[in-house]
Structure 1
Amino acid sequence: MLQLFLAAAFAAVPLTLYLPPVRNLSSFMEVAELLVQEAAGFSLQWYLAFRRGVRRIVALVAFALRFVSD
């Protein structure tokens, strides 16, 4: 059990290099919040476009199946 704990601890140590210092945390969080807000708009547009595309494909397949069955 100790070996597993030490392996997880030493594997997580390099991740601490990616965290900003505490004095820069507020500016880091501000930038992260802006990125999330911008990404939300893009993801909504992407979702609507993807949904429209899937709807068109389903309609085309339904039309083709109706044409084949007649």
Structure 2
Amino acid sequence: MLELLFTAAFAAAPLILYIPPIRSLNLFVEAMELLLLDAVSYVFSIFPRLPLAAASRP
């Protein structure tokens, strides 16, 4: 049983490299929020009546 535990632990260890640390994840989320805000403001500047159309739907 101990051998199975060590096998699972050493097999999962390289997968940890694919998970970013929380510090980096917060920066990524902040960058995505800024990108989304810029995209929304850009779309609303191109289509100024879009917010009115979205608000009038029931």
TM-score between both structures, scaled by the size of structure 2: 0.52
Structure 2 residue matching 1:19: 3-state secondary structure: helix
Could you list the structure 1 runs, at least 4 aligned residues long, displaced by more than 3 angstroms after superposition. Answer: none
Which residue matches 1:27? none
The structure richer in helix per residue is 1
Which residue matches 1:18? 8
TM-score between both structures, scaled by the size of structure 1: 0.44
Whichever residue aligns with residue 44 of structure 1, its letter is N
Matched residues, number:
39
Distance 2:22 2:9 in 1: 23
Q: Return the offset for 1:18.
A: 2.0
Gaps of 5+ in 1: 1-14, 21-31
Distance 2:45 2:33 in 1: 18
Query: What value does the CA root-mean-square deviation take over the aligned residues?
Result: 3.0
Structure 2 residue matching 1:66: 3-state secondary structure: coil
Which residue matches 1:53? 35
Whichever residue aligns with residue 29 of structure 2, its letter is Y
